[in-house]
């Protein structure tokens, strides 16, 4: 019985080390071009026209922001899940300061749900996939 406990404990530790390594590897090698093709790249020039119709989840992020890079796979998964129902986009706040200041983005990651061009829900910081999904589903 004692051996079984040690084996379970060892397997748990191995799993935790492996999962942490996987997250670290993704975080360290983050590349926005490896995300879902469904994610729309937003800029100061195309922002208003792009979000004008329907439900749109916008991720305000920056390349140097560790939580932003950690949230990127979740945003990518949501883009795939809401394909055809809602759109998902990302706006780099470093390169697009006009839109970032227009919505008073002070902390990143900030995610805003827009409906027909108007902001209806704002989420700041790391959020779960379920919380983000719920925010979008409330507007559909």
Catalytic residues: 65, 68
Give the contacts of 64 (CB within 8 A, at least 6 positions apart). 94
DSSP annotation of 34: G
56-88: string of b/e by CB count within 10 Å (b at 16+)? bbbbbbbeebeebbebbbbbbbbbeebeeebbb
In whole angstroms, what is the distance from residue 98 CA to residue 110 CA?
A: 15
Among 84, 96, 92, 79, which residue's Cα sits nearest to residue 54? Answer: 84
- Summarize the chain as % helix, strand, coil (round to 5): 45, 20, 30
């Amino acid at each position: 019985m004692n051996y079984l406990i040690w084996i379970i404990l060892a397997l748990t530790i191995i799993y935790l080390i492996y999962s942490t390594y996987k997250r670290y590897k993704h975080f360290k090698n983050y590349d926005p071009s490896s995300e879902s093709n469904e994610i729309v790249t937003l800029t100061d020039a195309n922002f208003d026209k792009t979000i004008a119709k329907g439900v749109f989840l916008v991720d305000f992020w920056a390349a140097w922001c560790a939580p932003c890079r950690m949230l990127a796979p979740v945003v990518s998964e949501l883009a795939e899940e809401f394909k055809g129902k809602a759109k998902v986009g990302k706006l780099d706040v470093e390169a697009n300061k006009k839109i970032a200041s227009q919505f008073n983005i002070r902390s990143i990651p900030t995610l805003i749900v827009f409906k027909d061009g108007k902001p209806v829900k704002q989420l700041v910081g790391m959020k779960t996939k379920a919380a983000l999904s719920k925010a979008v589903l409330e507007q559909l």
